[in-house]
Amino acid sequence: MNSILVDFSRQTGSIKPLHGINNGPVSNFGFVDTSAEYRAAGIPFVRLHDCQYPRPDRVDIPQIFPDFNADPEDPASYQFALTDSVISSIVACGAQPFYRLGTSIEHEQVKKYVFPPKDYEKWAKICAGIIRHYTQGWADGFRYPITYWEIWNEPDLTPEMWVGTPEEYFRLYTTVAPLLKAWFPDLKIGGCALCSVWNRTFINGFLSEVARTNAPLDFFSWHWYGDSPEQLRDTVIQVKSDLAAHGLTGAESICDEWNYMRGTMWVPARREKHIRREFYEKQRNHVGASFVAACMAVMQENGVDLSTHYDGQPHMMFCSIFDRCGIETKTYRAFEAFHKLYQLKNAVPVQTPQGFYGLGAMDEGRAGVLLSNFSAPGENYEVTCRGLRGGRAKLYVLDAHREMELLQELYFEGDFTVDPVLLTNSLLLLQIELR
């Protein structure tokens, strides 16, 4: 029998906010509202990119500030109303907005907004107006605790996100970031929401220029789409290595787009409709649930500071947590389960066999375990919890046939073991109350 060990006698740090989402809770232009579901899953951050796509008439700078020739110090130059509604809905469900400064992706042949700004310093002043509106109350605004401000999205993806040279983006960042940091020293300024960490020329060019100019980089953000948690681990480790190589170890590592997706699906295989449908279906079922939990465990273990899954809008094909009507999927249950551990705050070590991924956490009166059998055989597994005093444990299972079904409840004194059958692509959640 395969064994899994959770050692509650040791703590390995804090559980990170890895269950963030891109966009939502209100989507389809107000037709779908999943605020209650966001609150139930404790979504900590909501990143704003491709908001209400493909008609992004809010959040993006060209929509908020439509006339670049206008005065950025004049409140009349801005159109905040639609963005106000988006951000207020996020705050109302208990999450913090993670604001991408820039524009949405443009897949159309004719590009409108993904060009380098005509004046980088003026663009910085426009960004400052947006920040002041949402954090300082300027222009009849708000005093929301929005900490993270990201400069652009995927500038290494051309021409869909950046019709310019890499050097032009480097200059944009190293011009804007110091200005924003000087004006708002308590906020976190970063980027560059890199499409691929494996674009070695771009990442080394960007980090080298940041280091050379001493531009602030409170966080380095990057994206990953794949079908292997082990490949994600390699990517996380590479990011840490790149930051260290450039003397930027103080920057947080943030994965703010990720999902279950075969890498070759983008081009040209994205036109293979049957493969596309297969992955979209898996994103939402027990496969997606086990993948999400496995990836969160990998990110927790390897030092990712924050992540936001892509995407929370039911009308988007990449939405894993809801169907098109806003009904929760099995993958949503993985977010709910992770939140139960996030509330416990303190991480503990978990030893798992190959193909398994695990998270453990505890506070003074509670403990929890989340296990993902992503690729191991479906059979009995001994799960031993060590270092606990007496209490009560409830064991829940999610798989192809069950959706976080209560499988077992037991009382224990000291160490205890359970041995459920865990199928491939299944989750186990242990919720423990201590005496």
Instruction: Please give the Cα distance from 46 to 300 (Å, whole number).
Output: 19
Local confidence pLDDT in tens for the 435 residues of the chain: 589 999 999 999 999 999 999 999 999 888 999 999 999 999 999 999 999 988 878 899 999 999 999 999 999 999 999 999 999 999 999 999 999 999 999 988 999 999 999 999 999 999 999 999 999 999 999 999 999 999 999 999 999 999 999 999 999 999 999 999 999 999 999 999 999 999 999 999 999 999 999 999 999 999 999 999 999 999 999 999 999 999 999 999 999 999 998 765 665 545 677 777 888 899 999 999 999 999 999 999 999 999 999 999 999 989 999 999 999 999 999 999 999 999 999 999 999 999 999 999 999 999 999 999 999 999 999 999 999 999 999 999 999 999 999 999 999 999 999 999 999 999 999 999 999
What is the SS3 assignment for 303?
Answer: coil
If we measure between CA atoms, which residue out of 125, 131, 112, 118 comes closest to residue 62? Answer: 112
Tell me if 16-342 shares its fold with 346-434: no
pTM of the model: 0.96
Angle between helices 286-302 and 330-342 (to 10 degrees): 30
Q: Could you tell me the residue ranges of all domains in the chain? A: 16-342, 346-434
Reduced 3-state DSSP string for 344-411: CCEEECEECCCCEEEEEEECCCEEEEEEEECCCCCEEEEEEEECCCCEEEEEEEECCCCCCEEEEEEE
Assigned CATH for 16-342: 3.20.20.80
> Which overall architecture, per CATH, does domain 346-434 show?
Sandwich (2.60)
**Rg of the chain on CA atoms, in Å:** 22
Instruction: Please give the Cα distance from 69 to 131 (Å, whole number).
Output: 19
